[in-house]
Amino acid sequence: MGSLQLMRTLRTLASLVKFEHTVFALPFAYAGMVLGASAADVDITVSVVVWITLAMVGARTLAMALNRVIDAEIDARNPRTAIREIPTGKVSRAQVWLLCAASLVLLVASTFQLDPITRVLWPIPVALFVLYPYTKRFTWLCHLVLGLSIGLAPLGAWLATGAPGDELAPYLLWIGIACWIGGFDVIYATADVEFDRANDIQSLPARFGIARALAAVKVAHAITIGAFCGAAALLELGIVAWIGIAIAAALLAWENSIVSADDLSRIDHAFFTVNSWVGVALGGGLVVAGLLA
C-alpha cells in the first residue's frame, strides 16, 4: 500500500470511529482523574494525564470500531447507514478488525502504566464494548448497555489514580453518564423505528413507540442531573461544579423539548451539537471544581 493510499485509509478509519466525538467521554475521564487524585491525596503527574488520555482514546476507538464491524451487515441494509465506510467498501472488515486490535493494545498497554487495579479491571469495559452491538439483536435495553460502557470513563480514571474504590461519588457519575448517553441514544434510535421493526432490531422506540421512548429519555436525563448533584454534594465541590450541572440541566431540558413524536427533524442537532455542550458543561465543570478544591 502506497503512502497516499495509507493516508486515505487512516483518514477513512478516523471517520469510521468518529474520532472527534471523543469529547463525549474524555472530559469525564479527566474529571474522574482530578477528583480521584484529590480523594487519594496524590498529585496529578504528566505521565498520569498522558496514559489516561491514551487509555481513553484506545477504549473509545475500540468501542466504535467493534460496533461498526459487528453491525456492518445491518448497516448495509439500512438506507440511513448504508453510506458508512464498511458497507460502501471504503475500508474492509479486515482493516477495521486490525484497528480494533491496535486499539486494544493501546488500551491494555496504558493500563499497565497506571494504578495496578486497572490491569485487572480492563476486561470489564472491553466485554461491554463487545456485548453492546449484539444487545440490539435481543433486548431494548441496548441503550443502557451503551451508556454503562461509556459511563465507565470517570470511574476508571478515578481508580487509575489510586483513589479508593469504596467511595459512592464515582459510581454516581457512572450512573449519571450511563443515563445521559443511554437517553440520547434513544433519541437517535427514533430515526430508525420502521427499519428496526421490519428487521427485528431491538430498541426502546421500536418496542414501545416514539412518544413513550422520549418520555423515558426525560426520566433518564433527570436521573443524570440527580446523580451529578449527589456526586458534587458528596465530594463537597464548589460553585463551578454546580454551575456546570445547572447549564447541563438547561441543555438537556432544551434537547428534550426540540424532539417529539410529531417532529423528529432536529434529531441530529440534539444528538451531536447539544450533547457536545452537555459533555463540556458536566465534565468541564467537574474538572475545574476538582482543581480548585
- The number of domains in the chain is 1
Supply φ then ψ for residue 113, to 5 degrees: -105, 0
Structural domain boundaries, residue 161: 3-292
pLDDT at 82: 94
Q: With 90 as the cut, is the pLDDT of residue 16 above it?
A: no
Among 248, 122, 247, 272, CA closest to 184:
272
Residue 128 pLDDT more than 70?
Answer: yes
DSSP for 46-81, please give it. Answer: HHHHHHHHHHHHHHHHHHHHHHHHHTHHHHHHSTTT
Is the Cβ–Cβ distance between 103 and 62 less than 8 Å?
Answer: yes
Q: In the predicted model, what is the mean pLDDT of the chain?
A: 92
Tell me the per-residue pLDDT of 144-181, one tens digit each, with 9 for 90 and over. 999 999 999 999 999 999 999 999 999 999 999 999 99
Task: For residue range 24-81, list pLDDT tens digits in order.
Answer: 678 899 999 999 999 999 999 999 999 999 999 999 999 999 999 999 999 999 999 9
CATH of residue 54: 1.10.357.140
| Whether residue 285 has pLDDT greater than 80 | yes
- pLDDT, tens only, 174-213: 999 999 999 999 999 999 999 999 999 999 999 999 999 9
pLDDT category of residue 114 using cuts at 50, 70 and 90: very high
pLDDT digits (tens, 9 = 90+) for 232-270: 999 999 999 999 999 999 999 999 998 888 887 778 766
